[in-house]
Structure 1
């Protein structure tokens, strides 16, 4: 039983228990979940042949889900989002925040108008950021010209005659 990895033979708990009893797995090396499972066992054993419970699933929707769906429906090519980088908010999150801010300021506007205004604000914000980046960034050719002119001016200041060195 312990050598099998089929879910039909036993649950992961019974297989782990078998490994512990046989000595194939040291007690100190048991999985983290093992003690929790023993302390709080499930009401019904999680087996493959257990019938599926007949219960209705609740639909959970948040207010911003409708805004997010509207944004993604109209903007298919947004790009990827780096979930590991918490420093920057995603484009979708910025849109939702902008939309909610505009909605709180103008409660009587229809959704379509709020959507258009939020898109315009995001476009304006992107243009402002692009201009700021362009002002900060120096092109390679400009940097090369500046370095060359500085080097030329430095050579003009330093005039050493080889004859003077050996005097």
Structure 2
């Protein structure tokens, strides 16, 4: 398959494309990602760099990929936690598209660099500044209220109402029975 070779002979995309041209992979069997990659190719082609040779067969340290975090990752995480993805999808067909989250991060960085806003209220001030610019941010819905908490109150009220109705209907039937008995007594002599 195309994925068994190293990338030094071409990218996975070019190998799959060439296999499709040669007829090895049919058009109906092409990978799901192929059309997306063809529509939105990377700005730089992936480059295979041959790893450096090991000296004397020993490694000085483990080949571990370190976690990469940027300072705006915390801002983005809090933004998505509070506001979610938003009502609109990302428009990847426009090269200059800027998402609401990216605008929020840029405004946050701008307000932070000024230094006139305290760290505690900076997040809310950023939302207010974007609102002043005409960008409406909608908070995610709050946590759902558990129905178990609301049901006993509703059940109690409903049972009270049903008890009152049954009592009223019982009183009415007794009243009707006494009226029929009195009318029967008056008619019988």
Q: Same fold (TM over 0.5)?
A: no
TM-score of the pair, normalised by structure 1: 0.42
TM-score of the pair, normalised by structure 2: 0.38
State the structure with more CA Rg.
2
